[in-house]
Amino acid sequence: MKVTVIGAGNVGATSAQMLANKELANEVYLVDILDGIAKGKALDMYESMPILQSDSRIYGTSDYSETANSDIVIITAGLARKPGMTRDDLLVKNAAIVSSCATQAVKYSPNAYFIVVSNPLDVMTYVTLKVTGLPKHKVIGMAGILDTARYRSFISMETGYSMKDIQAQLLGGHGDTMVPLPRFTTVAGIPVTDLISKERLDSIVERAKNGGIEIVNYLQTGSAYYAPGTAAVEMAEAIIKDQKRVLPCTVLLEGEYGISDVCVGVPIKLGKNGIEQIIELKLNAEEKSMFDNSAEHVKKTIQQAMELIAKQQ
Ligand code: APR
């Protein structure tokens, strides 16, 4: 198993270290436009493997030919948010970066599964799908796992119940329009609506929606990376171990939920064939309307990005 992580910044380095720590891949390639950063961080991680008792080997490079025949490529390259910026503000620069990284990576690893982490996430997933020409079951965006992890941790804080017992689903874009679903949230099978008042739950949903900016405002110089890196590795693990996990991920919809030609978050079955099923939840009118609104926002941003890429070519 060979995994390439593009972008040796905070998210990429966290993902690479965790992949190797969990021994999910024999070889992990950390790629960055800054060769020394990739090499230095990879060597530092390599040197931690004897302590971690892991035989994963981590290499750093700026040369994509070394990543040839990767099974999985995780794209984290790009700019991170600073205070006052929305994820959409990253659009112009990150579209160019992600499109260049994905094009080079697929040239050497035409059979890889691509996990996209760079923001704005839904758009970057669509860009990766288009520039690589890969089939849609092979390109998957990481957003819903992070957003539900935030939501689940806030529910654990509120109730005092174990993180392990809190399950949740979420739909929509990775931004202010995301749609956490209290009706599909349980604590060990007990509906969360029986455990937390509507008022408190509404405020938890709001905090989850703004979970990214909460961290940006603390850090001031960048955005979250421990939870995003961990979430990307959970997706890689589901593919590597053929776990058939049911996880909220960003995928291309082609008629599911009555939506087409948009990459947006929905529950999927994730296993050795990538996206093995798109699960269609039975939504009520309010949930459906929030999801449609979110997908519509994402669609507009995708159109903007694609026009931009076309102009640059
Ligand atoms: N090719 C390869 N690497 C690149 C390129 C490129 N064309 N352009 C930038 N990079 C690298 C940078 O050199 C840097 O090391 O991407 C890395 C980004 O790292 P950070 O600035 O630490 O950003 P990070 O917090 O890791 O976030 C990366 O993930 O969660 C998203 O919103 C976040 O879009 C952002 C991305």
User: How does DSSP assign 183-246, residue by residue?
Assistant: GG-EETTEEGGGTS-HHHHHHHHHHHHTHHHHHHHHHSSS---HHHHHHHHHHHHHHHTT--EE
Is there a single domain that holds both residue 115 and residue 202?
no
How far is the centre of ligand 1, averaged over its atoms, from the C-alpha of 97 (Å)? 9
In this structure, what are the phi and psi dihedrals at residue 33, rounded to the nearest 5 degrees?
Answer: -65, -25
pLDDT tens-place string over residues 129-144:
999 999 999 999 999 9
Do the domain assignments include residue 313? Answer: no
Is there a single domain that holds both residue 120 and residue 10?
yes
Token digits of residue 123: 């758009």
Known catalytic membership, residue 297: no
Is there a single domain that holds both residue 114 and residue 8?
yes
Do the domain assignments include residue 229? Answer: yes
pLDDT at 209: 94
Total domains present in the chain: 2
Domain final position from 106, 141, 176: 141
Which residues span the domain enclosing 171?
Answer: 144-306
Regarding the beta carbon of 37 and ligand 1, being less than 6 Å apart is answered: yes
pLDDT at 182: 93
Do the domain assignments include residue 312? Answer: no
Is there a single domain that holds both residue 298 and residue 155?
yes
Which CA distances in Å does 169 have to 53, 66, 158, 181, 287?
A: 35, 38, 18, 6, 12
Is there a single domain that holds both residue 156 and residue 224?
yes
Regarding the beta carbon of 12 and ligand 1, being less than 6 Å apart is answered: yes
Do the domain assignments include residue 6? Answer: yes
pLDDT at 198: 95
Do the domain assignments include residue 109? Answer: yes
Do the domain assignments include residue 128? Answer: yes
Indicate the top mutation candidate among 15, 31, 33 to test ligand 1's pocket, ranked by most ligand atoms within 8 A of CB: 33
Is there a single domain that holds both residue 191 and residue 285?
yes
- The span from the CA of 32 to the CA of 9, in Å, is 8
Do the domain assignments include residue 311? Answer: no
Report which ligand 1 atom has the smallest distance to the Cα of 224: 25
- Determine the residue type at 280: E
Is there a single domain that holds both residue 152 and residue 39?
no
pLDDT at 313: 65
pLDDT at 102: 98
pLDDT at 85: 80
pLDDT tens-place string over residues 7-64:
999 999 999 999 999 999 999 999 999 999 999 999 999 999 999 999 999 999 999 9
Is there a single domain that holds both residue 29 and residue 152?
no
82, 219 Cβ separation under 8 angstroms: no
- Those residues of the chain that have pLDDT short of 50 are none
CATH code (residue 38): 3.40.50.720
CATH code (residue 292): 3.90.110.10
Choose among 303, 253, 250, 295: nearest CA to 119.
Answer: 250
187 DSSP β-pair partners: 166, 190
Is there a single domain that holds both residue 123 and residue 175?
no
Is there a single domain that holds both residue 206 and residue 187?
yes
Distance of CA 313 to the CA centre of its chain: 27
35, 104 Cβ separation under 8 angstroms: no
> Whose C-alpha lies nearest to ligand 1, atom 9?
78
Which CA distances in Å does 203 have to 163, 193, 301?
A: 19, 13, 27
Is there a single domain that holds both residue 153 and residue 298?
yes
pLDDT at 90: 82
5, 15 Cβ separation under 8 angstroms: yes
Domain final position from 141, 166, 187: 141
Is there a single domain that holds both residue 101 and residue 177?
no
| H or E segment and range at residue 271 | strand 260-271
